[in-house]
Structure 1
Amino acid sequence: MSSPPLTRAAATGTRTAVALTWLYVPGDRPAAVRKALGAGADVVIVDLEDAVAPDRREYARAATAELLADPARADPSAVPVHVRVHGDADVRALAGLPGPAGLRVPKVTDAASVRRVAELAPGVPLYPLLESALAVEHAYAIAGAHPDVRGIALGEADLRADLGVRDDAGLDWPRGRVVVAARAAGLDPPVMSVFPDVRDLSGLRASCAHGRRLGLLGRAAIHPRQLPVIERAFRPTAEEVEAAEQLVAAARTEQGALALPDGRFVDAAVVAAARRTLTLAGREG
């Protein structure tokens, strides 16, 4: 299988060409949503689920629909807006509007539930969230459930509770599972779940570095101050970029396996990984 393309966000100003930062904001706070759109995140996620009290959900749905009904939201230069929906009523209200760049579907457990949402919102990119042991077991089936599925991710707070996991180390296997499932289904690498302590930036940095080693790419945030830390954590280092440039340059003049000056042999899959590194660094599109 050839390497899937990395997700593209609209490239404006200094924003990265690849989505690395995803900022959650409650859907019942329109002023906060407008502020989030200017916070520098690659994608803004309007939350109609956990961040909204039950008696505010109808208002949140209406406010979000009003935002996404604006034709300006369909402009490729606009910050992409995803919506984490709460149920079918949210999906129906948002389907067909010009603004949603994707729907994040929580508590998915099987492929059938993904296909049902796809029927309610045809053509809208879907991002199922796996938040239980059953969902993790069905990760590949969910990832390949429908052509509108563009990515999968863990909902780690609920998954942690479901598994009785006490620390991040207990999530390594589920994280690795969704990385493999996404790759097998031809999807982009999964985005990390939120880091809940907005004051602990050193802890966030370490957690992102660990997630990157596991194959995750980018992270959701719940506060703008987390965005620069996430951006830096998932950007390739200067050493990684230099090594990738050497590989790609060699691949332009050689066919098949490559023999590098340091004695290593690399094949097409390694070259494809180097191209992804340069895409992340903004060196190759």
Structure 2
Amino acid sequence: MTIPLTWLYAPGDRPEVVRKAIASDADIVIVDLEDAVAQGRKPYALDATAELLSDPQPLPVHVRINSPHDVEALAELPGLGALRIPKVAYAADIQRIAAGAPGVPLYALIESALAVEHAYAIATAHDAIAGIALGESDLRADLGLRGDAGLDWARTRTVMAARAAGLGPPSQSVFPDILDLDGLYASCSHGRSLGFLGRAAIHPRQLPVIERAFRPTQEEIEAAEDIVKAAAIDAGALALPDGRFVDAAVVAAARRTLALAEREPTG
């Protein structure tokens, strides 16, 4: 299975944009019924999304819902890959959604100070939880922050909560300036250093930059190959020829690095 690195948002009230997103190089498309849709167009956005997802899709399509009513309309559709639940604050928020969408993977969006404090409880709220992610725009507003100052603690907290819950590494929040590709790359590199894997995008031009930022370097690939090769000989903790001592967690990370290296480049 390919490890996803790119998650492309598309507004639910613009089905032509959603179709273009599905035809893009994104690993996952997120149809947004929440912030990207004006209040008066939300009913149309839901209807258009339900019509699209009445058929299976060529890649996973997630939907960021706007209300519990959206869950009722979407949960049983064959084209739905997962639901993304915005503004989760308590484990009970997830449990209510899961009760109305049996068997549907859920992603919880951590978007407030309260949610950050409850991140682990949210991440372990229900077996349906497939991942958590940080909603940085709303969190920044909640905290009264200017720029990114002060967000790294919340970012690390989210990564820690996901790992402690046995979930995969979270993807990064969107980078809002679609023209600043150098800034996007630098931000992705910083996020990668904090433990994020992949990133949500709001425009297809961001996809190859995200891909490039999160793909392992040749040096990382060679180091991972050494670790996996050594692990094939000795399944326990082991010392590499260069003196490094590695255990099962390091071997697992090395295998993930090699899986990422096998991805076909985008763009």
Does residue 222 of structure 2 align to residue 242 of structure 1? yes
2:39 corresponds to which residue? 54
Does residue 96 of structure 2 align to residue 116 of structure 1? yes
* 1:44 corresponds to which of 29, 42, 67: 29
1:1-285 matches, cutoff 5 A: 8=1, 17-70=2-55, 72-73=56-57, 78-282=58-262
TM-score, normalized by length of structure 2? 0.96
Q: Residues of 2 paired with 1:39 and 1:268: CA distance?
A: 36
Q: Residues of 2 paired with 1:22 and 1:150: CA distance?
A: 15
Q: Residues of 2 paired with 1:80 and 1:48: CA distance?
A: 17
Q: State the identity as a percent.
A: 71
Deviations 1:185-243 (A, max 9, x none): 11010010000000000000000000000000100000000000000101111110110
Match of 2:81, SS state, is: strand
Deviations 1:103-158 (A, max 9, x none): 00000000001000001111110001010000000000000000000000011100
In the TM superposition, what is the alpha-carbon distance from 1:268 to its structure 2 partner? 1.5
In the TM superposition, what is the alpha-carbon distance from 1:282 to its structure 2 partner? 2.0
Instruction: Tell me the matched-pair count.
Output: 263
In the TM superposition, what is the alpha-carbon distance from 1:266 to its structure 2 partner? 1.4
2:18 alignment partner AA: V
Match of 1:150, SS state, is: strand
TM-score, normalized by length of structure 1? 0.90
2:102 alignment partner AA: P
1:36 alignment partner AA: A
Q: Residues of 2 paired with 1:160 and 1:254: CA distance?
A: 47
Structure 2: gaps of 5 or more residues: none
Q: Residues of 2 paired with 1:69 and 1:111: CA distance?
A: 30
Bigger shift: residues 29-38 or 264-273: 264-273
In the TM superposition, what is the alpha-carbon distance from 1:270 to its structure 2 partner? 1.1
Match of 1:107, SS state, is: strand
Change (3 A) 1:262 1:135: same
In the TM superposition, what is the alpha-carbon distance from 1:169 to its structure 2 partner? 3.8
Structure 1: gaps of 5 or more residues: 1-7, 9-16
Q: Residues of 1 paired with 2:84 and 2:245: CA distance?
A: 41
Q: Residues of 2 paired with 1:259 and 1:222: CA distance?
A: 44
1:215 alignment partner AA: G
Bigger shift: residues 166-175 or 60-69: 166-175
Match of 2:233, SS state, is: coil
Runs (4+) off by over 2 Å: none
CA RMSD of aligned residues (A): 1.0
Match of 2:151, SS state, is: helix
Bigger shift: residues 132-141 or 164-173: 164-173
Q: Residues of 2 paired with 1:225 and 1:54: CA distance?
A: 28
